[in-house]
């Protein structure tokens, strides 16, 4: 049973209930005097507390997404990472491989509701690999649209986390399918990935000196891989990015560092700099200058503003509320910064799940305007 599966949670609830009944039944027998009876009562209390605490911890983990798999909980790599050597000529191997389809309960056939592919991306530039998902809109499969290309939105989950959280917890492709079917947004390809390109390390979408080139993976490898297989637009600024928490920092960073590709981006509860801790290691090789370049507010203050649109989603009680206002105040043309501010909310799946439908509509509007300015689709 998976760590976040409803079956596992139900089993723990049943075990906790059985333990409570057992304790009530055994308590009179343990009510005698003497050290053995005392030890028995302590054991019963501990057993009760442990069983109830297990239910609470698993429920909290499912809600907030601290760990998605048993491997993550136990500190082992939860996803396969492969460094692939380059080829000395000949045809380049495919950068994206479709491993099959993921059933997520879309309401209709792929021609009516779209389809989610399971994918693996093998970066020809960085040599890094990542698994993820791609949602294809219904128009992608309709004969009358078979020669059309589609805008792309890269959706990045938080850290730690796996790309499947975007399906099971945040329900991004479900929201996109519903909005496309209702004609609220244009048909768009959504690529669902995690922010870390290396197992057991939070790379914060940063090109680590002498280490993983995480930013290059998202700026170069991922677009190359997607356009290799799918009919994705190549129009300037025709792609968007969105993410929550660390994924939000990554999304904003992609648009600010690669505006020729990413014309719009949204950060939900995002940081504006890469926090360094035991999971990140040294991201900057001790260079203060390089660290500053990866601080989005610093870039806004000291570098030319990129011609992109950004959306900052935050709540008044969140830690990033003040930094979000500061970032927005420093924006200047041609950069455009909008804010989505909630009176209440939090750094959790429920808040982000409620924000995503609004954010997807915002991204669609901004990417459409980008396409009109560039004369593309």
pLDDT tens digits for 48-79? Answer: 999 999 888 888 877 666 666 777 677 665 45
- 129 and 47 co-located in one domain: no
DSSP symbol at 278: T
Contact 357, 155 (CB under 8 A): no
- 34 and 133 co-located in one domain: no
Q: Which pair of structure tokens corresponds to residue 337?
A: 């910064």
Total domain count for the chain?
2
Report CA torsion sign: 134, 135, 139, 143. Answer: positive
Contact 119, 140 (CB under 8 A): no
Does the pLDDT of residue 275 top 90, yes or no? no
Q: Is residue 263 part of a domain?
A: yes
Instruction: Check residue 72 and give its pLDDT.
Output: 66
d(CA 113, CA 15): 40
- 160 and 206 co-located in one domain: yes
Start-to-end C-alpha separation, the chain: 45
- 122 and 226 co-located in one domain: yes
Instruction: Check residue 181 and give its pLDDT.
Output: 96
Among 64, 83, 110, give the residue marking a domain's end.
64
DSSP symbol at 346: -
Q: Which pair of structure tokens corresponds to residue 325?
A: 């206002």
Q: Buried b / exposed e across 208-244, counting CB within 10 Å, b at 16+?
A: beeebbbbbbbbbbbbbbbbebbebbebbbbbbbbbb
d(CA 309, CA 66): 30
| CATH at 359 | 3.40.50.1820
Tens-place pLDDT, residues 18-30? 989 888 888 887 7
Q: Is residue 81 part of a domain?
A: no
Tens-place pLDDT, residues 318-377? 999 999 999 999 999 999 999 999 998 888 999 999 999 999 999 999 999 988 877 655
Residue range of the domain that includes 34: 6-64
Average pLDDT, the chain: 89
Q: Is residue 71 part of a domain?
A: no
Instruction: Check residue 39 and give its pLDDT.
Output: 86
């Amino acid at each position: 049973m998976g760590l976040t599966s409803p079956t596992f949670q139900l089993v723990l609830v049943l075990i906790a209930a059985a333990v409570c009944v057992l304790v009530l039944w055994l308590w009179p027998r343990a009510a005698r005097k003497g050290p053995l009876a005392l030890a028995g009562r302590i054991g019963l209390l501990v057993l009760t507390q442990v069983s109830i605490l297990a239910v609470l911890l698993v429920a909290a983990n499912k809600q907030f997404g601290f760990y998605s798999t048993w491997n993550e909980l136990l500190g082992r790599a939860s996803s396969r990472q492969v460094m692939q050597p380059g080829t000395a000529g000949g045809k380049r191997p495919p950068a994206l491989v479709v491993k099959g389809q993921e059933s997520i309960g879309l309401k209709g056939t792929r021609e009516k509701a779209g389809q989610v592919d399971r994918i693996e991306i093998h970066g020809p530039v960085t040599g890094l690999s990542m698994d993820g998902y791609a949602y294809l809109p219904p128009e992608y499969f309709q004969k009358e649209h078979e020669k059309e290309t589609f805008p792309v939105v890269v959706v990045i989950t938080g850290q730690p986390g796996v790309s499947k959280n975007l399906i099971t917890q945040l329900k991004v492709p479900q929201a996109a399918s519903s909005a496309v079917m209702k004609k609220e947004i244009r048909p768009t390809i959504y690529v669902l990935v995690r922010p870390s390109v290396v197992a057991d390390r939070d790379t914060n979408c940063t090109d680590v000196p002498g280490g993983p080139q995480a930013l290059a993976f998202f700026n170069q490898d991922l677009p190359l891989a997607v356009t290799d297989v799918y009919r994705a637009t190549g129009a300037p600024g025709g792609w968007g990015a969105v993410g929550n928490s660390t994924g939000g920092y990554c999304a904003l960073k992609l648009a600010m560092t690669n505006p020729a590709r990413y014309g719009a981006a949204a950060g939900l509860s995002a940081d504006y700099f890469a926090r360094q801790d035991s999971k990140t290691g040294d991201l900057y090789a001790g260079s203060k200058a390089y660290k500053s370049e990866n601080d989005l507010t610093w870039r806004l203050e000291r570098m030319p503003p990129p011609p992109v649109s950004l959306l900052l989603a935050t709540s008044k009680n969140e830690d990033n509320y003040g930094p979000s206002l500061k970032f927005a105040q420093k924006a200047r043309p041609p950069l455009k910064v909008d804010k989505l501010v909630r009176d209440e909310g939090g750094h959790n799946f429920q808040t982000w799940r409620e924000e995503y439908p609004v954010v997807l509509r915002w991204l669609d509007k901004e990417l459409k305007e980008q396409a009109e300015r560039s004369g593309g689709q």
